[in-house]
């Protein structure tokens, strides 16, 4: 088991290394020069070649690509994420400002979608054929077709514009004003969680229905086990295996959704920052954000792989 985890960790490091190389090259291959964008912003177009060179040195842009990559990596190991060209501040400051917002919304959406999606799926499967199953399945089928940003706009129209119950947009830290913060995150979190809830419901339901037909479930019934035990220990536990598999995908998906949702609701998280940073060719910011996201997805997948062993003892870690 330990050797398996070490091997998986090593694989995770390789994956993250590939991600860093891809993002490093892609962002530097973009046409245009980040300095031009920075200079346009600061109205300093009339710079002499020497002053430009000074700026390049300041942001480490004068070196060759491999050297820039080594600089970035060396910096990371010292806890230094580099300097944002566009904002002209330390990327760490940007990250500590924006990261908690996205993480807070994303973690809420993640937990809600896990709990509701699995609960709905299990209920549907146990009550299959009833009106409840039909209704929830239909809603789940519709839920996976709705673009999240569009749902956000509809929610704003209904709950803010028409009913006036919730503020249109913006974000306030829950530590500042918990009530106001909660009112503001209801809609974004709903949008982020909608697709994951619906797809987990569909997946859990069909997985449960597969398992219910298995011989070992019939055996459990004929042994005279209590229904609760059969459902909880035999059915749900086995039905969850394919569901757990998609959790890593879910993490990446919620991050992707935050790119859209943060721009709909005017929230200053890393999703919105990522869009802006790609457009401004803010090298270090794009690199930092993708690196952080990739690390989280890799960790989520690692947890998934390890939890298989608990769910399905047939899986051996060799």
Partner 1 sequence: MTNNANNNPQPVDIAKWSETAPRYSETKRMISVFIGRPLPVIGLVIIVLLILVAIFAPLLAPYPPNQMDIPNKLQQPSSEHWLGTDSLGRDTLSRIIYGSRTSLIIGISVMAISSITGTVLGLVAAYFGGAIYHIIMRFMDALMAFPMLLLALLVASLLGAGMLNIIIALGIGMIAAPCRLMCGVVMSVKQNDYVLSARAMGMSNLRLMFQEILPNAFPPLLVMITISIGAVILAEAGLSFLGIGITPPTATWGGMVNDGYKFITTHPVLAISPGVAIMLIVFGFNMLGDGLRDALDPKLRGVI
Binding of residue 146 to partner 1 (CB under 8 A): yes
Residue 197 or 289: the one with the smaller Cβ distance to partner 1 is 289
Distance CA 227, CA 220 (A): 9
Answer for which of 81, 126, 298, 305 binds partner 1 (CB under 8 A) is 298
**Nearest distance, CB of residue 298 and partner 1, angstroms:** 6
Residue 26 or 310: the one with the smaller Cβ distance to partner 1 is 26
Binding of residue 192 to partner 1 (CB under 8 A): no
Binding of residue 19 to partner 1 (CB under 8 A): yes
Among positive and negative, which fits the CA dihedral 128, 129, 133, 137? positive
Binding of residue 14 to partner 1 (CB under 8 A): yes
Answer for which of 169, 214, 275, 307 binds partner 1 (CB under 8 A) is 275
Residue 202 or 234: the one with the smaller Cβ distance to partner 1 is 202
- DSSP-assigned letters across all residues of the chain: -HHHHHHHHHHHHHHHHHHHHHHHHHHHHSSS-HHHHHHHHHT-----HHHHHHHHHHTT-SS-HHHHHHHHHHHHHTT---B-TTT-SBHHHHHHHHHHHHHHHHHHHHHHHHHHHHHHHHHHHHTTTSHHHHHHHHHHHHHTTS-HHHHHHHHIIIIIIIS--S-SS----TTT-HHHHHHHHHHHHHHHHHHHHHHHHHHHHHHHHHHHTSHHHHHHHHTT--HHHIIIIIIIHHHHHHHHHTHHHHHHHHHHHHHHHHHHTT--SHHHHHHHHHHHT-HHHHHHHHHHHHHHHHHHHHHHHHHHHHH-TT----
**Nearest distance, CB of residue 88 and partner 1, angstroms:** 21
Binding of residue 161 to partner 1 (CB under 8 A): yes
**Nearest distance, CB of residue 129 and partner 1, angstroms:** 7
Is residue 21 packed enough to be buried (19+ CB in 10 Å), middle (13-18) or exposed (0-12)? Answer: exposed
Binding of residue 149 to partner 1 (CB under 8 A): yes
Binding of residue 256 to partner 1 (CB under 8 A): yes
Exposure on the CB side of residue 75, measured as CA atoms within 13 A:
18
Binding of residue 8 to partner 1 (CB under 8 A): no
Q: How many residues bind partner 1 (CB under 8 A)?
A: 60
Interaction mask 231-250, partner 1, x per CB under 8 A: -----------------xx-
Answer for which of 145, 164, 222, 316 binds partner 1 (CB under 8 A) is 145
Question: From the centroid of its chain, how far is CA 52?
Answer: 38
**Nearest distance, CB of residue 41 and partner 1, angstroms:** 18
Binding of residue 206 to partner 1 (CB under 8 A): yes
Binding of residue 213 to partner 1 (CB under 8 A): yes
Scan for tokens 């306030």, then name that residue.
Answer: 172
Distance CA 245, CA 301 (A): 8
Binding of residue 105 to partner 1 (CB under 8 A): no
Residue 57 or 158: the one with the smaller Cβ distance to partner 1 is 158
Answer for which of 156, 185, 220, 243 binds partner 1 (CB under 8 A) is 156
Residues forming contacts to partner 1 in the complex (CB under 8 A) are 11, 14-16, 18-19, 22-23, 26-27, 29-31, 128-129, 137, 141-142, 144-150, 153-154, 156-157, 161, 202, 205-206, 209-210, 212-213, 248-249, 252-253, 255-257, 259-260, 263-264, 274-275, 278-279, 286, 289-290, 293-294, 297-298, 301
């Amino acid at each position: 088991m330990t050797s398996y985890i070490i091997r998986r960790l090593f694989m995770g490091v390789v994956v993250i290394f590939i991600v860093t190389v891809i993002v490093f090259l892609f962002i530097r291959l973009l046409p245009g020069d980040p300095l031009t964008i920075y200079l346009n912003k600061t109205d300093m177009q009339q710079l002499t070649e020497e002053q430009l060179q000074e700026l390049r040195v300041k942001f480490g842009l004068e070196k060759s690509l491999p050297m820039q990559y080594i600089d970035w990596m060396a910096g990371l190991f010292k806890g230094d994420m580099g300097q944002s060209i566009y904002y002209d501040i330390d990327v760490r400051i940007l990250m500590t400002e924006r990261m908690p917002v996205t993480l807070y919304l994303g973690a809420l959406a993640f937990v809600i979608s896990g709990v509701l999606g699995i609960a709905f799926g299990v209920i549907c499967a146990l009550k299959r054929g009833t009106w409840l199953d039909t209704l929830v399945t239909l809603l789940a089928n519709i839920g996976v077709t709705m673009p999240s940003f569009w749902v956000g706009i509809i929610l704003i129209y209904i709950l803010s514009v028409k009913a006036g119950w919730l503020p249109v947009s913006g974000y306030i830290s829950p530590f500042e004003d918990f009530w106001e913060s909660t009112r503001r995150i209801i809609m974004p979190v709903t949008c982020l969680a909608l697709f994951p809830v619906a797809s987990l419901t569909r997946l859990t339901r069909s997985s449960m229905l597969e398992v219910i037909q298995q011989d070992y479930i019939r055996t459990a019934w004929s042994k005279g086990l209590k229904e609760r035990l059969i459902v909880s220990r035999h059915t749900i536990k086995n039905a969850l295996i394919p569901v757990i598999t998609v959790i890593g995908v879910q993490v990446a998906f919620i991050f992707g959704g935050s790119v859209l949702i943060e721009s709909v609701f005017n929230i200053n998280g890393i999703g919105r920052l990522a869009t802006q940073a790609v457009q401004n060719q803010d090298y270090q910011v794009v690199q930092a954000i993708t690196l952080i996201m990739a690390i989280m997805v890799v960790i989520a997948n690692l947890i998934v792989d390890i939890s298989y062993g608990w769910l399905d003892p047939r899986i051996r870690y060799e």
